[in-house]
Every structure is written in C-alpha cells, then in structure tokens.
Structure 1
C-alpha cells in the first residue's frame, strides 16, 4: 500500500516531516529524526473525538480498501457466519444454563417476568456461543484484529503492507497476542461472574428486608445498569490491550495496565466507539434473527441472498470496530504526548526567562 506525499489520511496530520524540517537542518539532525521516526514514539496525530476517529477510519479504509476487504473475506466473514447462525451452539446446553440462571434469580427474590426470562436466555446464549466459538475467536478473529492493527500502523508510518512480512511478524508476536487474549477472556468472564454474584447478593438482601419481588426488580435493574458501564469500560480496555500487544512489546496483564493508563482521559471517546459498534452489531443480529432464522418468502428463497448479505454487513461492522480501536490507540498516544508537553511547557518557559533577562543586561 503506497501512499504518495500528495495524499493525506487526516486533516490533523500524517504529514510528519512537513513542519519539522527547515532548509538549514544539518545532517546530524536528519539522522536523529530518522532514529525517532523508526522508534515511532509519535505519529503527530492530534487527539480526536469519536466522530473524527470514524472519519479517519473511513479515510484509511478508502486508501487500502483492497487489503481490508481481503481481511474481511478471508478472516472475518467465516467467523461472522458462524456467530450469526449459531450453528455451533448446542441448544440443550443453552436451555440447561438458562434454567439454572432462572432458579438463581427465583431463589434471590427476583420475579420471573418476561424481561428476566429473556435476559437469562440471552446471557445463556452468549456464554454457550463464546465457549463453542472459542477456537474461531482465538485463531481467525484474533488474526484479523492483528492484521487490521498492523495495516493501520503501516498506513501511519507510510509503509507498504506486505503479507509475507506480516506472516513473519505474526509468527514472532503470536504468543504474546494469544496470551493477552486469554487474559482478556479472563477479565470479561470475571466481570460477568461478579455481576451475577452482586445481583444475587443485592436481591437477597432486599428479600431479607421484606421487600416484595416486584420492588426487588428495581435495585436489580440499577445493578445491571452500573454493571453495563463497568463492562463497557472493561471491553474498551481489553480491545486496546489487543492492539497494544500487536504494536508494542508487552502482553498479558502489562498490556491491560498499559491500556488502562493510555485511555485515561479519553474514556468517553472509547465509550462512544463501543456504543456505536454494539448498536451496529445488535442491529444486524436482529435483522438476521428476523429475516433469516424466522421469516422467509414462500419456499425460503429469500434466505439465499439475505443471509450472505447480512453476514457481510456484520463483518463490515466488525472491521470498522477493529479499525476504530487501532485509530483510537494512536489518538490516545497523541493525547498523552500533548498532555506531557503541556505540563512541561511552563517549566521550559521559566528556564528561558532568566537567560533572556541576562541577555538584556
């Protein structure tokens, strides 16, 4: 992917060398600049909000549409087809797990209303689907995330994406990516288990205090709302940790800690990205459930073209989500560097004032 100097991927700046060099720059400064460029501490991307990140993502997608569409076709679409169709999900396991959750809800005092039943059913489907599709998630899905992050990195560093070079790179960093992904699974699973335990404790406490089941539902909904915020933040941290494990030499807990410190101050942007991606995926999943699984015209011929189309739409949403996470990573790095330079500026000004006054005298 060659990008000429006349093209710009962002209005904020991929022209890293334009404003830095003067006509009188000597050879030593040029060599120092080359070393700094190779280390890649700063791509000179200004910190962006969610809409700007989306625009940046679209620009990157336009300049390397062939490569990203290849990633969609080879790596993302197979996983999307399996996830949407639930072909690997054992419905007997879903039913058994759903009954267990309903028993836990009933014992803790929650009323078995349709909302509670649907929540237990959905949670059971998600858990069984994640377990059954885990081999696909840890291979094709994880490989697609690594390829997307590497492609965005190549775009910003003005390097051509080479599949053979990417194969060599991925063989070297694959272990740390998998290790980070296992920690991500552990964090998400821990959040879900903590939510169930906390929900049972809160509901049981209100039941012990003599509240009727209908009123117990309200504090349970508050717990669910707070948990959704915590889970969203955890997913954002985990998504950026995957990008970090691809682009930096850290993995596992270190990648998660690095991600948490990196996005601090930019959490609202990450939440908006997560919200948009979640809404898009849920919308396509709902369409697939309604149009392909339950509804068909006559002999069901509509499923022949609607199914692949919705799988492609879902894969495209997954692609945009992964690309936005990679762009968000670079934006957070820029935000950190901007904050550090802003903090050091007063000290620099203080150190230059005495020298200026001495010159005047």
Structure 2
C-alpha cells in the first residue's frame, strides 16, 4: 500500500510539473498575479498580527478553554498549540478579505484551465470565464471553515477524554513523564485529524470548481473520492506545505527581522526600497507556489475521478456520481460501469 501510494504521488507530481511548464506563461502571470495580494497579506501578517490586539485576545480565550477543560498546565503541547492556533487564526482573519476574493479567483483560474481535456493546446481562460467559478468556490470555502472548526473541536474532545482517562489512574501525579508522553501522543492525534481535514477541504475546492457545484456536496464528494488515497494525498500535500513554510521563514528573515532591527528604515530610503522590493519578489514566489499547489490538487482530483473503486473480489468497477433529486438535495451514487470476468 505504501509503495503504491508513493508511485501514485510521483506520477501525479510529474504530471503536475509537466502541465505547469506547458502553461508556464499563464500560471506565472494571470494566476500568480491574482494570488499576489493574498500572498502579500499572509506574509505581512507576520509582523502586523503580533502587534495587534487580536492575537492576545484569541490566545487568552484558548488558555481559558484549556484551563476549563483541566488540561495539565505543565504540558508544553497546549502552550505551543494554543499560541500557534492563535497566530494562525489571527493571520487568517487579517487575510480573510484577500482570501475570499483574490485567492479564490486564482484558484478558479487554475481549475478552469485544467478542467479542459487538453489544457496544453487550449487558449488561456479569460476573466469573464473565471468569475462564474467564484460563487461555488466561495460557498465551498465557507463550508470548509465549518469543517475545520469541527475537526479542531473533535481533536480537542479526544484529547480531553484521553487526558482525563489517564489522569483518573493517577499517572500524571505519580510520573511527570506521562505528561510528556501524552503530549507527544496528543500532538500526533491532532496532526492526523487536522491533516485529513485540510486534504478534504482542498479536494472539495477543486471539486466545486470542476463540477460547478459548491457547498457541502463538494465536501461529501471529496470524502468519497479520498477513500483509499489518504497516503497519496499526504505525500502530495506535505512537500508543498514545507516549501510554503520555508518561504514564510525566508520573508521573516529577510524582511521582518530587518524591519525590527532598523526600525523600518533599513539604514536609509535606498536600503528600505530594496528591502521592500525583495519582499515583493518573495511574495511573488509564494504566489507561484500557491498556483503550483493548485495544479497538484487539480491533477490529484482528476486521478481520483478517473480512478475506480473495485470491490474486495476485484470483479466490479464503480463510477462515483452525485445525483440531485427533484427537491435539489444531492446524494452520492456508485454506478456499476463494468463487470470483470
């Protein structure tokens, strides 16, 4: 299973690189420029959010929740987790207007190009053809927010019952090492739940653009398509997220730290100009990688859509469909399309 997932992820990555290079001009101009304001807002939030009253307010509420849940106060997991969640939520709120507009339009441009049968020979999409995809993407994005909220709530509930179950045997008071062990186990559980939720959200966005049907039905279809392909999705998502995190660290090192060091002047207007230009180039690189991540997600969706679900005896092949009834309610249907001898 692991070798098969690695092979599939390598094939999808090679196809994504080939498609990106074949449409290099469109992806690095139209799509990247559309994603640029969102990228810049994410990077700028690194030195604007820590000085805003939003971060300590969110962090204080999370600490109050952890204390009310009677989590061990000496656990470093909840100290680090609370700060990182507060930082992520604050940055997301800061960049929310750019996410709902420029990021979704950039995602729509990538999906609209790749939904064609032969994107390498087709002309690039126009803005008039991109804007109709914004509505289903927006509705799916709103549903994704509730899914991520539910995933975090589920993870904290599991950690709550796990810590209290172990604490009922008196392990925390008898051995401080149990706190470290449970913190490490809790970090693994939280990472697994959140990673699966993020993968479903990304696939749901692509599905809503490809099928032009957003909302909860796109999430439902993503959950069906991802079945049996979780390892492949993780192998595709982890490298991209690591590269994006590296670019954020580069922006912090080259721009944010220098702003703090020189008080925003950089030793003069000339140095400040070049420092700002360097920040713009880093944000543009961040945009290109966001576009490439959209290409990878789209190619993964195509792989899931063309793939088939075979039963345990290997005789029946099914096609995934979403059917709507007369009232407009949709449901997932597995259609038998072939019988194997």
- Equivalences for residues 18-167 of structure 1 within 5 A: 49-86=8-45, 89=49, 91-106=52-67, 108-112=70-74, 116-154=78-116, 156=118, 158-167=121-130
How far off its partner does 1:143 sit? 1.3
Structure having the higher strand fraction is 2
3-state SS in 1 of match to 2:237: helix
* CA distance in 2: counterparts of 1:338 and 1:154, whole angstroms: 27
1:196 alignment partner in structure 2: 156
Worse overlay, 105-114 or 52-61? 105-114
Retained in 2: the 8 A contact 1:111–1:217?
no
- Alignment CA distance shift 1:162-1:281 (3 Å): closer
Residue 240 (structure 2) pairs with residue 277 (structure 1): yes
* CA distance in 2: counterparts of 1:348 and 1:117, whole angstroms: 55
2:249 alignment partner in structure 1: 286
- Alignment CA distance shift 1:73-1:328 (3 Å): closer
- Alignment CA distance shift 1:325-1:349 (3 Å): closer
How far off its partner does 1:49 sit? 1.7
3-state SS in 2 of match to 1:154: coil
Q: TM-score, with normalisation over the residues of structure 2?
A: 0.77
Q: Which runs of 5+ in 2 are unaligned?
A: 1-5, 318-337
1:334 alignment partner in structure 2: 306
Retained in 2: the 8 A contact 1:262–1:336?
no
Retained in 2: the 8 A contact 1:111–1:214?
no
* CA distance in 2: counterparts of 1:306 and 1:164, whole angstroms: 29
Worse overlay, 224-233 or 192-201? 192-201
* CA distance in 2: counterparts of 1:224 and 1:275, whole angstroms: 17
* Equivalent in 263, 282, 287 of residue 315 of structure 1: 287
Structure of higher CA gyration radius: 1
Q: Which runs of 5+ in 1 are unaligned?
A: 1-46, 351-361
Retained in 1: the 8 A contact 2:38–2:99?
yes
Q: How many corresponding residue pairs?
A: 299
Per-residue deviation, residues 2-32 of structure 1 (Å, max 9, x unmatched): xxxxxxxxxxxxxxxxxxxxxxxxxxxxxxx
Retained in 1: the 8 A contact 2:113–2:125?
no
* CA distance in 1: counterparts of 2:340 and 2:305, whole angstroms: 24
**RMSD of aligned C-alpha atoms?**
3.0
How far off its partner does 1:118 sit? 3.1
- Alignment CA distance shift 1:113-1:284 (3 Å): farther
- Alignment CA distance shift 1:113-1:202 (3 Å): closer
* CA distance in 1: counterparts of 2:339 and 2:207, whole angstroms: 32
How far off its partner does 1:337 sit? 7.7
* CA distance in 1: counterparts of 2:179 and 2:115, whole angstroms: 50
How far off its partner does 1:265 sit? 2.3
* CA distance in 1: counterparts of 2:71 and 2:20, whole angstroms: 50
Per-residue deviation, residues 115-139 of structure 1 (Å, max 9, x unmatched): 6433321110111222232222111
- Alignment CA distance shift 1:152-1:266 (3 Å): same
